Structure 1
């Protein structure tokens, strides 16, 4: 089924429209499942009834999330629109509303506790997520040329929505980044010695930049431990570290740290934005650093902060200090403890 002529046509259409490799794999997965669910009938022989039955199966029997249901529907709509030239109309099924949950954020002590359980490049990646507000894919796709150590900035090429942007680079990460860049240099020199040295790029960029893909500046900051064959263009190259490799190490660090929150790679980006707003950074600046097109996306962090209630004191905090001291587990607050001091204390 994976090598069927129809699915190869879908793959070709996705590549022609320059969809990412991740989207290509996901769409093919759901289209393949849709066809198998309907006893391998050709999609041209099916219509709304078969689509509705498949989506109901996912929701009721498989109990997939709202986001997964929407993704499956997107894949099917793409197939009918671009491969069969049919618009799916009057479908007795609409895109499921995804719950809008406030993001989980970490305090400085919690970030420090997690970092304290990490070593090497995994710790450096996490520091970039929290210190620069990067998405995990953006961090893993950084190349040597994207790091400006003297200018203290990081260039994010084609972030979410294919938007380029610059974000700040913490001065405390400069020595670690210099060390990591030297590790990349040594690995690249070994690849060149063995007759390799090409880095991977999106298919749309290969012809344009293939003459420079052996240059050190184009190498990934966090390269994979092995070389691979490029899935589109067939050349032997070194890709970046896979997100799953980072996720496994993050999970171990969170458990070891004792932080009792659901922490993902994206949690550090949320924490970056929230902390900047706490420090009084203008929301437009935060929007620019995060790469948000719509300010309303950034404003969710003001809800996390309770910023709309700024200046309001809880009645409990207005009670005499002796009352609070009698509460279980009372700890006096040390206003002089800076965030940097907390990080240094936990990470020493």
Structure 2
């Protein structure tokens, strides 16, 4: 579930409400219905995630579950988001990553943010025009406005040397501090 949130940029509720019928493992596509704002969209699945999802669905505990949900809860319904948040916090604790409290992170929603930032950085490193790619990312995330998508993104100096390089001589210490913030 966590891997799917990151690799497809899904919201937690979208992943938990995925039905088996919404997942086409042959075509590598998820159909997201009833997302935020009651929107619908199709989301592609990477080859590595697709292999992982096929393996997950072939597990007898999952394959034999009498549930319409892709990630069935023990009662056959879907998991409550609070259960998934608890599991996420336990994973953080086991990894030695501190959780700084509600709303301060790391948060499950940060996987969605990471998806957006990493895909944008990938496109940038491939030399793609970011301004023509943003509408694609907006659609994948299920946003109505590009400004909503922009809130997910962070300017990473290494990916945008043409923006930051002219200021290095005059403002080196400022960009150095900003780079080391995270």
- TM-score band (shorter)? 0.7 to 0.9
Flag the structure with higher strand content: 2
- Is residue 134 of structure 1 aligned with residue 37 of structure 2? no
C-alpha displacement of 1:180: 2.8
- Secondary structure of the 1:158 match is strand
Contact residue 153 and residue 169 of structure 1 kept, 8 A: yes
Contact residue 180 and residue 221 of structure 1 kept, 8 A: no
C-alpha displacement of 1:310: 4.9
Tell me, in whole angstroms, the C-alpha distance in 2 between the residues paired with 1:139 and 1:243. Answer: 10
- Secondary structure of the 1:157 match is strand
Contact residue 144 and residue 181 of structure 1 kept, 8 A: no
- Secondary structure of the 1:305 match is coil
- Corresponding residue for residue 305 of structure 1: 155
C-alpha displacement of 1:245: 1.4
Tell me, in whole angstroms, the C-alpha distance in 2 between the residues paired with 1:310 and 1:154. Answer: 35
Tell me, in whole angstroms, the C-alpha distance in 2 between the residues paired with 1:173 and 1:163. Answer: 24
- Corresponding residue for residue 55 of structure 2: 179
- Corresponding residue for residue 92 of structure 2: 254
Tell me, in whole angstroms, the C-alpha distance in 2 between the residues paired with 1:309 and 1:131. Answer: 23
Q: Show the 5 A alignment for 1:96-175.
A: 125-175=1-51
- Corresponding residue for residue 272 of structure 1: 115
Tell me, in whole angstroms, the C-alpha distance in 1 between the residues paired with 2:56 and 2:41. Answer: 22
Matched length: 152
- Secondary structure of the 1:279 match is helix
C-alpha displacement of 1:255: 2.3
Tell me, in whole angstroms, the C-alpha distance in 2 between the residues paired with 1:256 and 1:184. Answer: 25
- Is residue 315 of structure 1 aligned with residue 168 of structure 2? yes
C-alpha displacement of 1:186: 0.7
Q: Show the 5 A alignment for 1:282-301.
A: 282-301=133-152
Bigger Cα Rg: 1
Tell me, in whole angstroms, the C-alpha distance in 2 between the residues paired with 1:176 and 1:293. Answer: 30
- Secondary structure of the 1:177 match is helix
- Is residue 222 of structure 1 aligned with residue 75 of structure 2? no
Distance 1:142 1:260, change over 3 A: same
How does the TM-score come out when normalised to structure 2? 0.74
How far does the alpha carbon of each residue in 1:187-225 deviate from its partner, in whole angstroms, 9 at most, with x for none?
Answer: 22xxxxxxxxxx6xxxxxxxxxxxxxxxxxxx1011121
Instruction: Give me the CA root mean square deviation.
Output: 2.4
C-alpha displacement of 1:142: 0.5
- Corresponding residue for residue 243 of structure 1: 81
- Secondary structure of the 1:254 match is helix
Contact residue 165 and residue 289 of structure 1 kept, 8 A: yes
Tell me, in whole angstroms, the C-alpha distance in 2 between the residues paired with 1:259 and 1:270. Answer: 18
Distance 1:162 1:310, change over 3 A: farther
